[in-house]
Structure 1
Amino acid sequence: MAASHNKETEKQRWDRNFADLLQELRVAQTGVQILFAFLLTLPFSNGFPKATEFQKDVYIVALISAAFATAMIISPVAFHRALFRQGRKPELVRYAHRMASGGLGFMLVSMVSSVLLITDYVLDWKWAVPLTVITGLWFLSLWAILPFAHRNWGEDEEDAEATESADRDS
């Protein structure tokens, strides 16, 4: 797979990067929209008036961070519309990358806040805090720590393939 990327032009690379990013945004967009919709309906449920002030504060954090995540994850569409056919794909890809990353950050805050809200409502505080911390650490592990720790995974394989190829050629 790496060999095919070596022969692509810079324009082809930007097009591929943009297509990859769009696929990622489609997945994230669906998730954040479902969460946002759930949070928008929550105050109208029968049990919401029983929520404590703390739970209502946590709800506001979850709602606003879901709204910010939604805006950031959808914003590359508006940016693309504004730059359509102007040959500015590199700028669009860089912008979309930043917005997707920021959107994921807000989505993490919203999801963890939602877990705190629900676990505090359903369970006791002594269970809500550890479950929320575990959830936050799980998200951070999968969305930040593992990806950054393994950014160069493919490089070792590419180096090995290049070495094997060079050995066969000689």
Structure 2
Amino acid sequence: MKEQRTEQRTAARPDGGEPADRGRHESKEERADRQWQELLQEIRVAQTGVQILFGFLLTVAFTPHFQGISATDKAVYVATVVAGSLAAGALIGPVSFHRIVSGRRIKPEAVVWASRLTFAGIVLLLVTFTSALFLVLRVVTHGPLVPCLVGGVVAWYLLCWFALPLWARERHTDEK
């Protein structure tokens, strides 16, 4: 059982540190190549979500209904668009990073920086989703339950995106 867990703990950590036990017999370059491929797969999922949401957000300002929303709602909209733009930049950043440093024999370092950009993008995506949901519920319902509903959804995001992975990491990582 312990051997199985050891082999599963090989992905790059967000802080760029090495796992306690690599569990594989691979060179630094082979590990960097594998981690880069894994990171690209993760980024593809997040990029798609942020690009669709960002594209939708950009069109909202040009609808007739937008002109009738309050100044507060417009401020929330601007914050949402800016957060979405920052999330897109952070999630697209690893691609640009890779292109610029490609062939320089620094893939392990590139993996670390790309991982950090991806994590920042996920946090910014959380902000974007939260503010977009807040804005939509505020405009649609005008109800006092909006903060509670948004808080519940944010709690769900935090559970799925951070708490559960951190719990699994702690539970299934042997201390060395």
- Please classify the TM superposition score into its range, dividing by the shorter chain length: 0.7 to 0.9
- 1:104 counterpart residue number: 122
Separation in 2, partners of 1:154, 1:16: 21
Unaligned runs of 5+ in 1: 157-170
Give 1:5 deviation, angstroms.
4.7
Give 1:73 deviation, angstroms.
0.4
> How many residues end up aligned between the 2 structures?
156
Q: How does 1:24-43 map to 2 (within 5 A)?
A: 24-43=42-61
Q: How does 1:156-167 map to 2 (within 5 A)?
A: none
Unaligned runs of 5+ in 2: 9-21
Larger radius of gyration: 1
- 1:145 counterpart residue number: 163
Identity within the alignment, %: 35
Quickly say closer, same or farther: Cα 1:152–1:10, change in 2 above 3 A.
farther
Select the structure that is richer in helix: 1
Instruction: Indicate whether 1:79 and 2:108 are aligned.
Output: no
CA displacement, residues 56-112 of structure 1 (integer Å, 9 cap, x when unaligned): 111111100000000000011111111111111111000001000000111100100
Give 1:43 deviation, angstroms.
0.5
Pick from 73, 81, 84: which aligns with 1:63? 81
Pick from 8, 12, 15: which aligns with 2:33? 15
**Contact 2:86/2:124 (<8 A) preserved:** yes
Give 1:51 deviation, angstroms.
0.9
Separation in 1, partners of 2:173, 2:147: 40
Separation in 2, partners of 1:49, 1:67: 22
**Contact 2:28/2:108 (<8 A) preserved:** no
Give 1:26 deviation, angstroms.
0.5
**Contact 1:76/1:96 (<8 A) preserved:** yes
Separation in 1, partners of 2:69, 2:38: 42
Greater relative contact order structure (CA < 8 Å, 6+ sep): 2
Tell me the TM-score normalised to structure 1 length: 0.86
Tell me the TM-score normalised to structure 2 length: 0.83
Root-mean-square deviation over aligned CA pairs: 1.7
Separation in 2, partners of 1:41, 1:106: 20
